[in-house]
Structure 1
């Protein structure tokens, strides 16, 4: 009986799409790439489509055939091959996490940098527990137990900002309207959340800007997005979130388009000093 195809996890998809990207750069067909490894084209196709694994020991040889000898790239892709089926801490919450959300957490865990444009809610990596619970409750129909579990997940995700080895570099541009949100039943929620932003801004790997209400038009008008970068010049991923979960953009040219858009967003937003001054004023106003 033939083996069942592998589940195309997000790590396996990233590995496959990156290998396809380098193959295209080298100008090789599937058949030509397979020949360099002594394989048949269907195996190469399955690896690129994330339905078959590749041994970490084969990565260097395949990349060499593509003219890629950068040690960081080789190491990064070997890590993806090795960890493709690895279970993370978030698997404990599989009963409440949608598959797309679990994929996103996996991306965060592997990330070197995360750039966020937030237009409707404070980014999850910067939320307090109370803010997380209130926004989850407002955006979904969940039981109290599920809300509590999802809030725990959001807080657990924040460990990437303070991990001892290579904490994620977070750059968040937050639409000012989000900072004016109020919670009638628990008024202190926003007060604590604003303080959380001020505290997080003191981390050397966290940059926070505010997009003012009176800003000129900018690409963020098309909606919120996250731009995730990885070590070793591995192509990044764009994540678009919505009520049904998230969708991923992995094509290199499309990711570059979003990266250029983010630079324009950063240039349009308030400076970091002015942003923190605004958050401080709002915090003081909320407290009175």
Structure 2
């Protein structure tokens, strides 16, 4: 499937168009709900993309807005396509919201992480350790499902038309021992291998850079190939995530990312630093009796 042609992006595009047409018809959400004999909250959820819209509901709304003919049929067809199920529905108990659908449809992904290796770059053992640490009360079956779901997300990199992926990572991530030296060596060598792909760029913000915009927390900027689909910023947290779509919010995070890229080591230098850290962890793994001292910080 081409970038930006998945059901999540189509639902978002349809929601935006329905909102625009309602406003052009000079109708309020309450008036639409009254005329279509449904709740105003339903109309609102449709327009924000929080719920899907059936082809029948789409047709009723379009007729109310005075849209007919080919334009109406095109949007009703969009409603049909937006209701298709993506691969991630097999992991409904793991994924919430529309994050994975948007990620799968993105043509560009710009990520910042200060504490962990970004999910799309994680190895299976690193992922398992992280999930187990964050969910100490989880059953083993849940851990396995969450690990499998994250590995499934990484199939983006083997897509015939993969997104442009740019990750900026704080140097602290290279020092935090997750799962032991063997797991860390494997993880960091994987990052080196992925950075060799033409669509993947990884940069490290060294400790010497001091305070930087990313100290506010991790975030991901998702871009799409169609001009009609505006960028979305996903601000991550342990329990949930916040989606920001207002132009001023997207501009703010885009500027933050640009400043982070400027503060970070150049991509080639970053890969060298990652490889050196991987080598040190590999040496520790080979000498289990060695004292695990902290690595010297990058200046």
8 A contact 1:200–1:206 mirrored in 2 = yes
Specify which of 224, 230, 237 is matched with residue 235 of structure 1: 230
- Could you give the per-residue CA deviations for residues 96-149 of structure 1, whole angstroms, max 9, x where no partner exists? x1423xx21111111111100011111111000000000000112311111111
Larger radius of gyration: 2
Q: Residue 107 of structure 1 corresponds to which residue in structure 2?
A: 102
- Pair 187,163 (structure 1): closer, same or farther in 2 beyond 3 Å: same
TM-score, normalising length from structure 2?
A: 0.74
Q: Residue 168 of structure 1 is aligned with which of 160, 163, 188? A: 163
Q: Distance in 2 between matches of 1:78 and 1:271?
A: 47
Change (3 A) 1:78 1:249: farther
> Would the aligned equivalents of 1:172 and 1:207 in 2 still touch at CA under 8 Å?
yes
The Cα shift of 1:10 comes to 5.3
> Any idea what the Cα deviations from partners look like across 1:216-251, whole Å, max 9, x if unmatched?
332111111000001112101111111112111111
Cα RMSD of the aligned pairs, angstroms, is 3.4
Matches within 5 A, 1:2-151: 11=9, 14-15=12-13, 18-19=16-17, 28=24, 30-31=26-27, 47-50=46-49, 53=53, 81-95=79-93, 97-100=94-97, 103-141=98-136, 142-151=138-147
CA contact (8 A) 1:237 1:255 kept: yes
Out of 146, 154, 157, the residue aligned to residue 153 of structure 2 is 157
- Judged with a 3 Å threshold, the aligned counterparts in structure 2 of structure 1 residues 156 and 21 are, in CA distance, closer, same or farther, namely same
TM-superposed deviation, 1:31:
3.4
Given the two structures, how large is their TM-score scaled by the length of structure 1? 0.76
**Alpha-carbon distance in structure 2 between the residues aligned to 1:120 and 1:279:** 15
2:266 corresponds to which of 271, 284, 287: 271
The answer on whether the counterparts of 1:16 and 1:49 sit within 8 Å (CA) in structure 2 is: no
Distance 2:25 2:204 in 1: 46
Quick one: structure 1 residues 120 and 23, their matched pair in 2 at CA, closer, same or farther if it must change by over 3 Å?
farther
C-alpha displacement of 1:15: 2.3
In structure 2, distance between residues paired with 1:52 and 1:138: 35
Aligned to 1:68: none
Relative to structure 1, the CA distance from residue 221 to residue 45 in structure 2 (aligned partners, 3 Å threshold; closer, same or farther) is closer
Alpha-carbon separation, structure 1, partners of 2:241 and 2:78: 21
Instruction: Name the count of aligned residue pairs.
Output: 255
